[in-house]
Structure 1
Amino acid sequence: MIATITKQPGETLRPAVAFSGNASIAAIRAVTVTARGLVPGAPALVASATVSGGVVTLALSGGGDGERYAVTVRADDLGGQTLESEIEVVVLESSWATPDGGAGWLPIAAFVKRFTLDEVVRMTDLDGSGRIDRDLLVGALVDAQAIAESHIASRYALPLATVPRILEMAVGDLARARLYPRGAPEGIADQAKAAMALLVRIQDGKATLGLPAAAAPIETASDTPIVIAPGRRAYPDGLDGY
């Protein structure tokens, strides 16, 4: 089974490479990278490998958003046998922003990790390109976060300094359901309904986010009484004879 990892275009990952039988590696023969061709003109993924203590570690950098790359490592084990291992690298720009410039609560990589790459591609790949339609996915995430914000705004000051895991889960479940325009399957719809019920409980004060007290708006009552005294009429004679 080929392992799949995700990375952002600007980050460098250093994953270990597993070989059959957990073989101990003595030397690296070659590292090759092949782009799947999902994004024409995508930058190359740069890969190099080192071996230490019998373990091979890759250094992966670059790549283009939405592209997928096959990285193949050929190496010799301590017995002189040449082995080969392949991993798939999916490059995703994980961050996104709301229309007003606010930060997205649930990174795309976290959404993909929770619901699997295959499902997210299946839900968003309307043109058969084999990759995630970023605009479609971000649109669903924006809508889901807007729903969540509208429910918690009366209890907590926005923007949140930190986003509790429970809100990330709610946004994920709502966004996932919104990616089924003809109606989400029963289990997915049930999760979205549960997320909405949770947001309503937070709005009603029946559930809390576990945020620091300072993150919630504080209502204070003044000890100074407000006195309303009757005033004099501007024209005591009622403008008699005018």
Structure 2
Amino acid sequence: MPYATLQDLTDRYGVDELTALTDRTGTGEPDPVVIGRALDDAGRIIESHLGSRYGLPLNPVDPVVQLWACDIARFLLYKSEVSDAVKARYASALKALVQAQDGSITLQAGGVVARPASDSVQFAGDDRFFDRDSLKVF
């Protein structure tokens, strides 16, 4: 699920940058299909991290998740010559996702409670068929 929109990317990075990154046919406009694909990929990256801790899809979307989606999608739109600033924002988003995954930071996920991380193993099964009381006659 995309956690940001074309308008979110345009508001953050401007139509000129998005056009330069996505206009492959010379229309002078950002290509919504190319951007949509990058936003979908960013959403999959986000969900691959958060799915082990939060119910998906997140709804409503925490504003910080929207920011991460924009930074990840922007990075994915670059084919070459990615600036240090774009790389840094991408790396920061991935680092924050790992922190959200391990519980170091908590998201406001619209009533979705973070699942507690646990290092213990729990077993569940049926009650014992043979126990001390049932075997007393033998």
Relative to the length of structure 2, the TM-score reads 0.80
Partner of residue 12, structure 1: none
- Structure 1 stretches of 5 or more lacking a match? 1-97, 99-103, 232-242
Q: Which has the higher helix share?
A: 2
2:3 to 81, 105, 108: 105
Cα 1:161–1:182 change in 2 (3 A) is same
Partner of residue 191, structure 1: 89
Partner of residue 41, structure 2: 143
In 1, the alpha carbon distance for the partners of 2:97 and 2:125 equals 37
Partner of residue 66, structure 2: 168
Tell me which of the two structures has the higher relative contact order, counting C-alpha pairs closer than 8 angstroms and 6 or more residues apart.
Answer: 2
1:181 to 79, 84, 88: 79
- Structure 2 stretches of 5 or more lacking a match? 118-123, 132-138
Q: Which has the higher strand share?
A: 1
1:203 to 83, 101, 116: 101
Tell me the C-alpha RMSD between the 2 structures. Answer: 2.6
Q: How does 1:200-239 map to 2 (within 5 A)?
A: 200-212=98-110, 214-217=112-115, 227-230=127-130
SS of the aligned residue for 2:42 comes to: helix
Identity of aligned pairs, percent? 30
Give 2:37's aligned amino acid: G
- Matched positions, count: 126
Check the 8 A contact 2:50/2:101 in 1, yes or no. yes
1:147 offset after TM fit, Å?
Answer: 0.1
Cα 1:136–1:162 change in 2 (3 A) is same
Say whether 1:127 aligns with 2:32. Answer: no
Deviations 1:6-33 (A, max 9, x none): xxxxxxxxxxxxxxxxxxxxxxxxxxxx
Partner of residue 91, structure 1: none
For the pair shown, which has the larger CA radius of gyration, 1 or 2? 1
